[in-house]
Structure formats: structure tokens, C-alpha cells
Structure 1
Amino acid sequence: MLVSGKEILQKANEGGYAVGAFNTSNLEITQAIIEAAEEEKAPVIIQVSMSAIKYAGIENIAAIVITAAKNASVPVALHLDHGTDFNVVMQCLRNGWTSIMFDGSKYPFEENVAITKNIVNIAHPMGVSVEAELGKIGGTEDHITVDEREATMTDPDEAVRFVEQTGVDYLAIAIGTAHGVYKGEPKLDFDRLQKIKSLLKMPIVLHGASGVPEESIVKAVKLGVNKINIDTDLRQAFDSAIRSYLNENPNQYDPRKILAAPREAMKKVVAQKIRMFGSSGKA
């Protein structure tokens, strides 16, 4: 069933677990995510980035996810991941997205607040929930690059002011994760997370979770993270499985058979993440 992100994450916040937010750009990834969620009886958030919209076409990817979500036996939200373009955000609202992230972290605080508040005022009457980001998360997400030296942690007091002034439904914070592949083991600032959660008492989002050790993820969930973004892990599972299949079946040319292996590999990753996040059986 297709629902808002807020409906899913409010329950996660109250229940003390996290929901996986998995990125998709085609049919097979979407199928893998929903099939795993159904088998785990877990709510799930399917994310589409601006580059995925450019790749697949906004109407095409919306039709794929929305159709699959409406036929699913578990709650599914369609979320815009790292929306930095106001026009793209508006296009997503017109095309059936049930959750929107506006990433204004590159702007000064007051400008981030102003743009985010405007989007909240448009989205909320449509029943669409809004995520924002405060602080800079290292690495690269689509065309957004933040140098590791420039990456800054979210200030707890600033987070309170931001939420009060914008009315966002959930907040992505910077506590030491990064987008993409890690060069070493990330060190998360759990004290900062705990303080922000105690002040806000709302769903907190962790970006750049692919590659973070399981013990760190489990601890972050216990301290109040309710939405965890996963993209790189799915891409790596896809890459490994399709290379292996083609090496073993060099004469195969049927895309349906070729893509079955990576779809199953991604499905296993999604199921494993769902269990790690504590959302199995929460649908």
C-alpha cells in the first residue's frame, strides 16, 4: 500500500526501530526492495534521486514504484532523495511522491530555513511529508560533493531552531557518515545523535549508511535513528551478481535471465538491512 513517509516514520519513532530507505532507478531494483519487505513483513521507503529521475524519466519511475507500492502487502512510501532543485520537488509532488527531501544544506541557515518552509507549506496540504538536512554529510550524492575537510556535524541547538521554523517531519543529520564507498571505518558521533534526538523527539535520518559496521548501525537505531538510507550496498550487490552471472553464462543474451541474478542479490541485501534496522514484522 502506498502511504506517506510520515505515517511510516512516526510508528518507527514510537516503536524505537528504523525503516530502510532504499534507492531505485529501475524495475528490478524496485521489485527486489518490495519483495524483500513483503517477506520480512516490514514497512519500506523507496527513494528516487534526481539523477535517477533524469535516467528513467519522472513519469516512468513514478509509474513503476507507485504501481508496485499500491499492490504491495506492506506500507511503502515513495521518497525524493536529495532534492536540491525546487522545480524537481514540484514535479515530484505532481507525480505522486508521498515524501520529499529538500536538501538545502549547502545554503546558509536562514536561506535553508526559508526554502524548506516554503516546500513544507506546499507539501503538507497535499498529504506529503518533508525531510530536510542540516549539517554537511561528506562524500558525493548525485552532483553534490562535500569535501571531507569541509564536512561539518549538525549543531543540536541549530537543529531545534530549524525544525521549529520549518515544520519538517524528519531531519537528516551529519554525525560522521558519508555518501559512497568509505576509505576506512566511519566514526559516528553517538553523543551528538543522542543529544539531537533528546531535544527533537522526532524521526531522525541517517544518510550514507552503506558500509557502516552493523554494530554502529544497531547503536544508532537504539539512540533514535528511524530512517536509514541505503544505495551503494545495492549497487555493489547488483554489480557483483551480474558480473558473476555473465562470467558463468557468457552466451546468455536474454535480459530477463541476466537481471534475475542481481535482483535476487539485491533482495538479500534489503532483507538483511531490514532485520538489522529492527523493522521486520512491523508492517
Structure 2
Amino acid sequence: MLVNLNDILPQAADAKYAVPCFNAFGYEDARAIVEAAEELKKPVILAANKDMVDYMGVKTLARMFVSLAEESSAQVCVHLDHTYDEDIVFQAIHHGFSSVMFDGSQLPLEENIRRTRQVVNVAHAVGVSVEGEIGSVPYEEGRDHIKSISTDPSEAQRYAQESGLDAMAVAVGNIHRLTKPTSVIDYPRLQTISEVVGDIPLVIHGTTGIRDEDIIKLKQTRISKFNIGTSLRMTLGQNLRRLMNEEPEKFDRLYFMQKTMPFVQQDAMRILELLG
């Protein structure tokens, strides 16, 4: 069942669970993620990041992910991750994404509010949800131009009130693309942000770099969406390498992907249960 963020996040924000947003890098892992959600009867967010958009284009990704969502017994939101260009956001909306993220975190506050509001006006007119970011969640690698700026609660309050967005990503010590859980979460900052943004569900990016005990603590707050990419990429890559080394005479892609996907599904189920 295809849904948007507004169908699944408000309930999570008001309760003590959260919904995982998995970045998928192909049909096989996207399908494994959806099957994990079906197995556990939990909602899930299937996301396409900038690398995949640059590689495949939003039209192809939309057709692949939306078909999986529409045919699933689980609630599946098809989400465009960090996007800095409104033209790409509007393409995604046109081709069927049920949710988009306009990332204006590198912009001055006023411009971030103004441009997010423009995206919201278009998206909401056709039933698509919008995520934005205030502050700037840094990257461990691969995005050297991205700043590291902790979310200012007063700016978060203005952003929530004036942009019209549906979910807000915050920077409270979380870091993209960490391979080990070394992030140190600024709980006092998060508490203050939660108190001033009203009913807006909050989002954490960089979940792989956060300890399980912190994830459990964070899901008790208004954090209702956790973005995960590195964990599943590591699971896929490590198991694919192992399986290919075990059978060097084999070469068929489908053979190895079919053997690897159960490990991806298992990791997705682990995260779904951790957040549930």
C-alpha cells in the first residue's frame, strides 16, 4: 500500500516507536526491505538518495519503488531523500513519489524557509508529503561540501512554523555514513527542539552511527523517522563478497543476489523490530 509520511509519522511521534527509512540501491534490496516490512506487519519508508537519482533518474526509480509499494500488504512510503534542486523534487512528485525531501540545510534560514514553502505548496496540492532539514547533519565521507551545524532550537521553531513542512530532520550529534556507532547525541538540544516545534515529527539521519541504546532512547521522543543506508549496504557488500569467494566458479548475478538478499531482509527486520 502506497502511503506518505503523514499517514505513518504522526502516530509514531505521539507514541514510543519510529519508522525506518531505508535507502535502497536497486530492485533486489528494495524488495527485501518491503518483504521485511510485510513479514513484521510494520510500515516502512523506501528511499532513493542522490547517488541513485544521479545514476538511474527519478522516473525509473519511481516506477520501480512505487510498484513495490502498491503491490505490498505493508504501508510503504516512497521517499526522495536529500535533494537540493527543486526541479528534481518536482520531477519526483510528477512521476509518483509519495514523499520528498527538499534539503535547504546549506542555505540561510530565510531562503530555506522560502524555498521549502514553495515545495510544500506544490507537493501538498497533490497529496505528497515534504521533509526538510534545519541545521546540517555532516557526512563522514563523500559529501565534503556539507557543513556540520547543530540545529538551533529558535531556527527550528521558525522553520516549523513558517515552512509548512511535514517532518523535520535535525542535527543533534548524528553523522551520515558512519560504519561504527560512535555518534554522541545532544539530548538537551533535542529536548529543547521538541518543545518548540509543536506537532512536527522529527527525523534522525545517520542511524548506523548511533548505538542501539541511544536509538531506543530517541524513539521515546518525537523522533519518528530514522534514516538507514550504510548498515544495509555493509550487509549486502560483505555477504556478497563472502558468497562470491566461496563459489568462484559461479558468475551469474541473479544467483548471487538471490543468496544475498535474505541477509539484507534479516538486517532490515532487525532494525524494524528495534524501532517498533
The answer for the alignment partner of 1:160 in structure 2 is 157
| Structure 2: distance between partners of 1:266 and 1:182 | 16
Calculate the TM-score normalised by the size of structure 2: 0.95
Judge conservation of contact 1:21–1:46 (CA < 8 Å) in 2: yes
**SS at 1:139 equivalent:** coil
- Matched residues, number: 275
Judge conservation of contact 1:25–1:61 (CA < 8 Å) in 2: no
The answer for the alignment partner of 1:122 in structure 2 is 122
Judge conservation of contact 2:181–2:210 (CA < 8 Å) in 1: no
The answer for the alignment partner of 1:177 in structure 2 is 174
| Structure 2: distance between partners of 1:143 and 1:153 | 17
| Letter matched to residue 245 of structure 2 | N
C-alpha spacing 1:64/1:144, structure 2 compared with 1 (3 Å): farther
Deviations 1:156-202 (A, max 9, x none): 12111111111100100000011112577110011111221122232
The answer for the alignment partner of 1:281 in structure 2 is none
**SS at 1:259 equivalent:** helix
| Structure 2: distance between partners of 1:118 and 1:171 | 16
C-alpha spacing 1:107/1:233, structure 2 compared with 1 (3 Å): same
Determine if the alignment matches structure 1 residue 151 to structure 2 residue 148. yes
Calculate the TM-score normalised by the size of structure 1: 0.93
Deviations 1:130-156 (A, max 9, x none): 00000011116865643xxx5121111
Determine if the alignment matches structure 1 residue 103 to structure 2 residue 103. yes
**SS at 2:209 equivalent:** coil
C-alpha spacing 1:144/1:180, structure 2 compared with 1 (3 Å): same
Shift of 1:11: 1.9
**SS at 2:2 equivalent:** coil
C-alpha spacing 1:183/1:76, structure 2 compared with 1 (3 Å): closer
What's the % identity of the aligned pairs?
Answer: 36
Judge conservation of contact 1:37–1:274 (CA < 8 Å) in 2: yes
Name which of structure 1's ranges 54-63 and 130-139 shifts more when overlaid on structure 2.
Answer: 54-63
- What stretches of structure 1 move > 4 A for 4+ residues in a row? 140-144
The answer for the alignment partner of 2:188 in structure 1 is 191
The answer for the alignment partner of 2:228 in structure 1 is 230
**SS at 1:171 equivalent:** strand
For structure 2, the 5+ residue unaligned runs are none
What RMSD, in angstroms, separates the aligned Cα atoms of the two structures? 1.5
Judge conservation of contact 1:25–1:56 (CA < 8 Å) in 2: no
